[in-house]
Amino acid sequence: MSPSTASGSSARAARAAQDSTIFRTLARIGYVVLGILHILIGVISISIATGGGGDADQGGALAQIQQSPAGVVLLWIIVVGLFALAVWQVAEVFLERDPDTKKKWAHRVKYLGTAGAYLAIAATAVVYALGGQSESSESSQTFSAKLLAAPAGVALLVLVGLIVAAIGAAFIVRGITRAFEKHLDLPTGVARRGIVTFGVVGYIAKGIAVGIAGILFVVAALTHDPEAAGGLDAALHALAGLPFGAIILWIVGAGLVTYGLFCFARARYARM
């Protein structure tokens, strides 16, 4: 089979998947799932800001779901929704047709990266659904330690941190410029303004949290201290340690809750 034939077959398979009503519905459930997780992370962040505890990351959110009534059922719904959303992103890779070659491949890399993130959360949800636990902060520290032990490990970890920080910056820019609007079929009037406001606030808040996580990877590299890199939870706890950190963390937590609400709207209005 020639490369062009294989590419054509992959594109047809991707289009067939996206044309499936059932698959599209499952992908929209994936956005609802993301909303729930971000709301829980935001609530945990606010709890930390007010003197409480908890892990303000996907693991902490999934642990709360695990402990709730019907938690196992909800966790499997999360797995299915996120898996469908990841497959949808992979399908977009094959269907991307931007005439600008650089933009086309940039979009494809973004789709693959997003799919990978969804699959990672889904895999963590599987662990919780099976009765296990997962400490994402420990995973980040283990990853950092292994990378630091490798040749050119410091440079590699700095690169990882810069990439994560750049992703955070991209979220902030996406919020400020309202770039997310072009991917939505929004209603008119007050509903549209409300959804756009939720999107702007949510993207900026998430960008701040992700950006700080990236900075912590750089700090871990420059100080040769893998324990400094702890993912989203460490980033949010780092905010709490700043002057007026409790207020800042409360605002970011509220912003993450807002992003979760935006994800609910995205489930309804996303162009799929």
Q: CA 248, CA 46: separation in Å to the nearest integer? A: 10
Q: List, for residues 138-161, the tens digit of each pLDDT value.
A: 666 677 778 788 888 788 888 988
Please report the pLDDT score of residue 222 as a whole number: 83
Question: Is the CB of residue 88 less than 8 Å from the CB of residue 18?
Answer: yes
Instruction: Give the residue-averaged pLDDT of 29-47.
Output: 92
Please report the pLDDT score of residue 5 as a whole number: 55
- pTM, two decimals, is 0.85
Count CB-CB contacts under 10 A for residue 241. 9
4's CB contacts (< 8 A; 6+ apart) are none
Q: How many CA atoms lie within 13 A of 89 on its CB side?
A: 20
Please report the pLDDT score of residue 78 as a whole number: 93
Task: Give the chain's mean pLDDT.
Answer: 85
Q: List, for residues 171-224, the tens digit of each pLDDT value.
A: 999 999 999 999 899 998 999 999 999 999 999 999 998 888 888 888 888 887
